[in-house]
């Protein structure tokens, strides 16, 4: 049974991806900061072998210790889904909060690097593996007040491309999924718990849901070994660009 390692699996896209990959026959390593949510997920997937790791991707020592603690049955990771990330604040650069900047760069960029570096030795040793990084349309198109978040996701896009080159000699597939508007807790986190403001982001149109993204990831990781779906831009029909959405009045 192949092993999929999913970061940020306690909610949203990560959680939906865990369910989708379990349905595809993978055993799982699910990671996040909220152990109770991961335990709830493991109970839901009772028929799927599941190992829980609790850590913050921004903490390099914690990442390395967690990956190093994997039991033998889960240690040889076949698929890594770098999903954990965050958005904080929506302000012009001159008014931005440096703490928000640190959270986004540490989670979205450094966290991806830390987890990938910890998991890759087993893949390079076996000369096989598949890494999917969750980016964003924000990494492709800038939008007003998105500055550091857009920059962090642009970094994910460039890291994906360079990782694909670096890992080519090791037969490791590297790909990226760039979702547009997906209704998860994303906006609630960005607006620091302001539920009314978060809900307004998705009003007047039908956004993607986490399962939509998860189904695309499931498709990507179940292609034959000679096929790499290298980059996907996934938008709701009502979205034409990062900041252009057709809303019903």
Do the beta carbons of residue 238 and residue 139 sit within 8 Å? no
Task: Report d(CA 77, CA 92) in Å as an integer.
Answer: 40
Active site annotation includes 149: yes
DSSP class of residue 182? B
Could you tell me the CA-to-CA distances from 72 to 3, 7, 67, 122 in Å, in that order? 11, 19, 11, 11
Task: Report d(CA 180, CA 192) in Å as an integer.
Answer: 20
Could you tell me the CA-to-CA distances from 155 to 105, 110, 140, 224 in Å, in that order? 9, 10, 10, 28
- Which pair of tokens denotes residue 194? 């302001």
From the candidates 114, 143, 149, 202, give the one annotated as an active-site residue: 149
Q: Within 13 Å and on the Cβ side, how many CA atoms surround 222?
A: 14
Give the position of tokens 């718990």.
193
Do the beta carbons of residue 152 and residue 108 sit within 8 Å? yes
Question: Within 10 Å of residue 106's Cβ, how many Cβ atoms?
Answer: 18
Active site residues: 149
């Amino acid at each position: 049974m192949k092993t999929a390692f999913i970061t940020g699996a306690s909610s949203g896209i990560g959680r939906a991806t865990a369910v989708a990959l379990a349905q595809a026959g993978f055993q799982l390593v699910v990671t996040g900061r909220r152990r109770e949510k991961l335990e709830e997920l493991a109970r839901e997937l009772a028929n799927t072998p599941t190992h829980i790791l609790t850590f913050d991707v921004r903490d390099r020592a914690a990442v390395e210790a967690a990956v190093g603690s994997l039991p033998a049955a889960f240690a040889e990771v076949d698929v890594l889904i770098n999903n954990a990330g965050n958005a904080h604040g929506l302000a012009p650069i001159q008014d931005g909060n440096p703490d928000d900047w640190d959270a986004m760069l540490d989670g979205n960029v450094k966290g991806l690097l830390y987890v990938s570096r910890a998991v890759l030795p087993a893949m390079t040793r076996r000369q096989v593996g598949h890494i999917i990084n969750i980016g964003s349309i924000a990494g492709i198109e800038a939008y007003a007040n998105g500055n550091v978040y857009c920059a962090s996701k642009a970094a994910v896009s460039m890291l994906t491309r360079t990782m694909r080159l670096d890992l080519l000699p090791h037969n490791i597939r590297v790909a990226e999924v760039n979702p547009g508007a997906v209704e998860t807790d994303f906006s609630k986190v960005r607006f620091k718990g302001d539920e009314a403001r978060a809900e307004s982001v998705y009003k007047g149109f039908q956004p993607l849901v986490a399962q939509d993204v998860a189904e695309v990831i499931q498709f990507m990781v179940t292609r034959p070994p000679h096929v790499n779906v290298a980059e996907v831009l996934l938008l709701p029909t009502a979205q034409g660009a990062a900041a252009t959405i057709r809303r019903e009045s």
